[in-house]
Amino acid sequence: MTPQHIAIVMDGNGRWATKRFLPRLAGHRQGMESLRRCIRACLDRGVAVLTVFAFSSENWNRPADEVSGLMELLASALGKEVPQLLKDGARLHFVGERAGLSDKLRKGLEQAELATAANSRLILNVCFNYGGRWDIAQAAASLAAQGRAITEVSLHQAMAMSHVPDPDLIIRTGGELRLSNFLLWQAAYAELFFSDKLWPDFDEAELDRAIAEFTRRERRYGKTSDQLAPVANGQKVA
């Protein structure tokens, strides 16, 4: 079965560029192309939710020119990509802390969200200035400020990703085997797929490889295999 919600750590842009003796920003620009292709592929495959990690809470620690380049890339993508997303029926959500972003960028994010708010074919969450720890902490702080009890349900509801179900499949490109502060809470029962491809090289074939691997996994949620076997007429089907 196709995963309903796919989340991706789009890693490897810098190495893609360095291998070609290009500036890292050229890798990020090529990464945008790859994202465009990935959105198309998810639309074609009937994926309901695509969540991508575009800029982490920790990415501020990169050289200033790379950080400002990434901010500009997002700002220019807003203008360029929204018309196509509108046509495709994709609804944009930006997930992350807005406080650290410029007023202009914040406005741009809000406008893009508003412009696509009536769409429902694909929900596209772009995690920008996002960290899983930030989300858990901000959710707990908002509950505390309202004097509400902190439970798994209330925390989930207060989180920035509460508008979508948890990811079924998390893909990380670029060969690193870690989450780097992505969807820490929501990853609880996600299937993980690590690809050696650098993000700009991630294509439909690699997405299909991840989906095929996902369909072979048995999601037990703590149960045993036997408990999951389909039952017909009171008899377990072999």
Footprint on this chain of Mg ion (rule: CB under 5 A): 11
Residue from 39, 49, 50, 70 touching ligand IPE (CB under 6 A): that is 70
Least gap, CB of 66 to ligand IPE (angstroms): 8
Least gap, CB of 151 to ligand IPE (angstroms): 30
- Catalytic, 11? Answer yes
Residues 157-176 touching ligand IPE, rule: CB under 6 A, are 174, 176
- DSSP codes, the chain: ---SEEEEE---HHHHHHHTT--HHHHHHHHHHHHHHHHHHHHHTT-SEEEEEEEEGGGGGS-HHHHHHHHHHHHHHHHHHHHHHHHHTEEEEEES--TTS-HHHHHHHHHHHHHTTT--SEEEEEEEEE-HHHHHHHHHHHHHHTT----HHHHHHHSTTTTSPPPSEEEE-SS--S-TTSSTTTTTT-EEEE--S-GGG--HHHHHHHHHHHHHS---TTS-HHHHS-EETTEE--
Q: Which partner from the list ligand IPE, Mg ion, none does 208 bind, CB cut-off 5 to 8 Å by kind?
A: none
Residue from 15, 45, 156, 209 touching ligand IPE (CB under 6 A): that is 15
# chain residues binding ligand IPE, by CB under 6 A = 17
How many CA atoms does the CB half-sphere of 75 hold within 13 Å? 13
Least gap, CB of 97 to ligand IPE (angstroms): 14
Among 59, 88, 201, 203, the one annotated catalytic: 59
- Catalytic, 233? Answer no
Residue from 3, 6, 7, 10 touching ligand IPE (CB under 6 A): that is 10
Least gap, CB of 196 to ligand IPE (angstroms): 12
Among 11, 135, 166, 168, the one annotated catalytic: 11
Residues marked as catalytic: 11, 59
- Name the residues that contact ligand IPE, by CB under 6 A: 9-15, 53-56, 59, 70, 174, 176, 178, 180
